[in-house]
A and B are shown apart, each in its own frame.
Chain A
Amino acid sequence: MIDLRDRLVLALGERDGIPAPALAACIESVGGRVVYAATECFV
């Protein structure tokens, strides 16, 4: 199990995978901080 608490996280999401807001919700739920967030869209 990894520990995201107090970590600075770069959330690299993808529209057709898991987008950045969903990644951020997961990260913040365990006390991590999102310092970079981007969602890719290839169409």
Chain B
Amino acid sequence: MRTARFAVAHVPGLVLSGSKPRRDIQAAGGAEVRAALCGALRSFEGAVGYPPHQVVLGTLAPEALREIPRPWHLQPVAGARPEGPGGVMIDELGFHAWLARADTARLVQFDETFAEEVRARAGNLQISTMGAADLRRAIERRAEPLYLGGHRLIGVVNPAHDEDESLAAPVLLENLAAKVTGALALRCLLDGAGEDPRAAADEPVDYLIGCGEEAVGDRYQRGGGNLAKAMGELAGVRSAGAADIKAFCAGPLHGLLMAGALVASGVWRRVVVVAGGSLAKLGMKSRGHLVAGYPVLEDVIVGMAIDVVADDGRSPLLRIDTAAVHRIADGTAPHQMAQVLTAAPLRAAGLKLGDVDRYAVELHNPDITEPAGSGDVPARNYQMIAALAAQAGEIARSEVPAFAEAHGMPGFSPTQGHIASAVAYLHHAVAGLTQGSFSRVQLVAKGSLFLGRMTELADGVSILLERNPAGESERRAR
């Protein structure tokens, strides 16, 4: 596993199109909700300086969040920039420019003033424009409005078909947002900014594996998919084939597993696992944030790209031989999941739970989840793993909190589902396993399949990342 890159699109105006805000605004008392949300949106500077976002960008270690008093939005990082070794952040203008680039079906229209601003920033793009009255008429005919910062209407996304629910404007906007953020992350990875020049060498990408949670299709094939191919096209990749893996939040780790298997078996030389972010989850827990007097913290859509190549003597090894998947017969209670995904594969690999330097579990930012009553998700995961260590006799019960602290980290990921599930840590994992002192990191992701009402089952995948032994002997020889 060579590298992971993240693209964080700060889109406060699109919070109004998030699933929960949209429903709350359409319900009784919706005008007050809308006004409250609009009054609590962050500026780009606020989002850039937000410590958890700097962790996603790779400029701050997750462990550093322990030294920063919560709530973190009150402690902006001084001198913070919208880029880092782990990725980039873009503002609303940048996002909408990419939206225009991504709009192959010509459904997006901006007002002329905004179109000018986009052109000034992004050069001469093909942008379709409409006057204000036409925009309002389009919205009446079920186009999805696009707002900048909550108040300023700057355009619309039109439906692609009046009678096809799968091509309704909100669905298309959601899919375009995923396409854009995934393509941006892919572009960031391929540009290799700030990286080892050996890695940036332009080996062609052979295959893209998409693993986001959007559904791309039309009424006859609602989840047809392969958004990965569209992302690759937008990112300027021409050499690759592509396909999507759908597995709720466990998608990326299933994707990594398959990417590793394809490369290890020699089918392909370079596979990139890619995902866009979730527009639907914008403002998901904003009610709790407003009550707590926080700004709307769920104002970013995050895409990611992970580069998987054959052993290069340096990059961390993806131990697909120790990978674990939750099987149909396995139980789905938290302790049963932890047994299947953590205890069992480590035991099979001859390892103790304490042999893993860091567990990358569900890394949701607790400042986002706690005001909404959902608790601290990473902390619960680490408690469970530490309890397993005690159960296995590795540590005493009294040492459980210390184990959780030593092998865990504070949550920092935006609540973007599949992004928060282990992979948000990947840039730091690679750093720790190359420049740092880590020997092993276990990635653990879980998927709530039962939400789709096709099964009561849950799902999960875990994979071990290991320091490359060749790199180790090279280090010792110096």
Contacts and interface: CB of A to CB of B under 8 A. Distances in A.
Real complex partners, A and B?
yes
State the majority secondary structure of interface residues on B: loop
Contact of B458 (A15, A17, A18, A43): A15
Given A16-B334, A22-B331, A22-B333, A43 B362 contact: yes
Interface string B355-387: 000000010100001001111010010000000
What bracket does the count of chain A residues touching chain B fall in?
10 to 19
B332 interface: yes
B369 A19 contact: no
B439 interface: no
Interface string A29-43: 000000001010111
Contact of A20 (B373, B374, B446, B456): B456
Given A15-B458, A20-B456, A43 B333 contact: no
B369 A42 contact: yes
B332 A22 contact: yes
Nearest to B331: A22
A16 to B, nearest CB: 6
B420 interface: yes
Interface in B322-364: 331-334, 336, 362, 364
B182 interface: no
B457 interface: yes
A26 to B, nearest CB: 10
A19 B458 contact: yes
Interface in B447-464: 448, 450-451, 456-458
Contact of B377 (A17, A20, A24, A43): A43
Contacts of A42: 369, 372-374
A42 B336 CA distance: 19
B255 interface: no
A19 B334 CA distance: 8
A18 B334 CA distance: 7
B417 interface: yes
Given A22-B331, A22-B333, A39 B456 contact: yes
Contacts of B3: none
Contacts of B373: 42
B50 to A, nearest CB: 19
Nearest to B415: A43
Of A18, A19, A22, A24, chain B has the most CB atoms within 10 Å of the CB of A19
Contact of B448 (A22, A37, A41): A41
Interface of B: 331-334, 336, 362, 364, 369, 372-375, 377, 380, 415, 417, 420, 446, 448, 450-451, 456-458
Interface of A: 15-22, 24, 37, 39, 41-43
Given A15-B334, A20-B456, A41-B450, 15 more contacts: A16-B380, A17-B334, A19-B332, A19-B456, A20-B450, A21-B331, A21-B457, A24-B456, A37-B456, A39-B450, A41-B451, A42-B369, A43-B364, A43-B369, A43-B420
